[in-house]
Amino acid sequence: MKRFQYVALLTAAFGVFSLQLQEKPVYAASALQTEHAPGSQPTDKLGAEAYANHCAICHGDQRQGNLPAFPPLIGIKRQMTDEQITTLVHTGRGRMPGFPTLPDPELTAILHFLGTTPGVASAAQAAGGSAAKSQTSGLAQAGGALFRQNCAFCHGRDAMGGETGPDLTRSKLVHADVNGDKISEVVREGRPQKGMPAFNLSSSELQSIVAFIHGQVASANSMQGKRRGVDVADLQTGNVEAGKAYFNGPGGCAKCHSATGDLAGIASRYQGLQLEERMLDPRDVKSGVIVTLPSGKQLKGIVAYHDEFTLGMRDGDGVYHSWPVNRIKYTIDSPVDAHVKQFSQYTDADIHNLMAYLQTLR
């Protein structure tokens, strides 16, 4: 709640700031009124009527939208300037029709109306921000539906982990996220290396998903017992000495790694499941490559792309080169291969012991 008020303040401040950048006074006037409750201005009635006549059929009486087809307009003024909204209303976009002949006074009133809080009397807002609460939970509700459609298969319906995807209520990134500043980037760009696709969601859709996830963090924190996921405490069943012996002996770890060299302090950098996953498959480690061209010239670099037909390489200066594989000779040095070979060799005890040993390297 506190956070929301802070954001509201911030956006209001931003509204004032953007007012100074506005050139057309008609928009400036409405920007000034951002976040005011309805009932306080004569334009309110006109705005509500104009909204009801032109917008409500798709975006809903309470601006709640009808996802995925029609985005909610709650909080739209935090994502778009009045100028952008005006352009959008005039020209339309996607399945949204344009309203090029909408009279200016009506448009101004709509812009003002969009800055108000839906369905709540100003007195309620003054009485302690319940308006903000209902707006947030409306968003989270819309986000919940979107989450179940797009995210639930991997992250679980309640965002607490499911097939292949981690528990988001325990995610450091989610905890560090403020109003979607971190989550949005991950959703939009995906994490291809970890198998998470990018999602092309609108800002309002993203905002609602973010609201849902934060809501789930709160409800997960209030849950006792039945938490899914892996705690550091779960991974303490191994034997340090046996792990050390495996490291230096049959595990073959010491062939490439050293407890006092590259792995010194590893347990301070990674803990728990993250450490175990890196131990078993350090997936972000790059492969080196030496390419011999038909001329005999040799190039050295990092493998940037490699399929059956093409080799892409980034050289020491970061420049990308690529060749059809049948035109060159090349040798790839992939240190991860040793980890892959080990999968069929480990017993579960080997893994637990190795974990116990690595956790002593602080």
Partner 1 sequence: MKLLKEALVLAAGALLTLGASPHSLRAQNLDSADLIKPPADSWPLYHGDYSGKRHSPLTQITPRNVSNLSLAWAFQTDQTASIKASPLLVDGVLYFTVPDNIWAVDARSGHMLWHFHHPTTQGDHIGQRGVAMYKGWLYFTSPDGHLISLNAKDGSVRWNKIIADVNKGYWTTMAPLVVANHVIIGVSGDFDNLTGYLRALDPDTGETQWQWNSTPPAGTPNTTTGGMTWMTGTYDPKLNLVYWGTGNPTPVLNGSTRPGDNLYTCSIVAINPDNGKLAWGFSVSPHDTHDWDAVETPMLVDGTFHGQPRKMLMQASRNGYFFVLDRTNGKSLLTVPYGPTNWTKGIDKDGHPIPNPDKEPAPDGRLIAPDEGGLTNYRAPSFDPKNGLFIVDAHPSYSIYFAKPADGNYGWAGADYGLWGKGVIEAIDYQTGKIRWSHEVGRGGSGAGVLTTESGVTFTGDAYGNFLALDTSDGKTLWHAGTGASIQSSPISYELDGRQYVLTGSGGVLFAWALPPASTHSPQKVARTP
**Nearer residue to partner 1 within complex by CB, 156 or 301:** 156
Site for partner 1 contains 335 (CB under 8 A): no
**Nearer residue to partner 1 within complex by CB, 161 or 251:** 161
Site for partner 1 contains 284 (CB under 8 A): no
Q: What is the nearest approach in angstroms of partner 1 to the Cβ of residue 12?
A: 32
Site for partner 1 contains 286 (CB under 8 A): no
Site for partner 1 contains 95 (CB under 8 A): yes
Segment interacting with partner 1 (CB under 8 A) among 41-49, 112-120, 214-222, 273-281: 273-281
Give the C-alpha separation, 172 to 176, whole Å.
6
From 4, 81, 102, 148, residue interacting with partner 1 (rule: CB under 8 A): 148
Segment interacting with partner 1 (CB under 8 A) among 31-39, 132-140, 250-258, 272-280: 272-280
Segment interacting with partner 1 (CB under 8 A) among 180-188, 204-212, 224-232, 259-267: 224-232
Site for partner 1 contains 330 (CB under 8 A): no
From 208, 339, 354, 358, residue interacting with partner 1 (rule: CB under 8 A): 339
Give the C-alpha separation, 212 to 143, whole Å.
5
Site for partner 1 contains 195 (CB under 8 A): yes
From 309, 316, 318, 327, residue interacting with partner 1 (rule: CB under 8 A): 309
Site for partner 1 contains 352 (CB under 8 A): yes
Point out which residues bind partner 1 (CB under 8 A). 57, 66-69, 95, 97, 145-146, 148-150, 152-153, 156-157, 161-164, 166-167, 195, 199-200, 225-230, 234-238, 273, 276-277, 280-281, 283, 307-309, 339-340, 343-344, 346, 348, 351-352
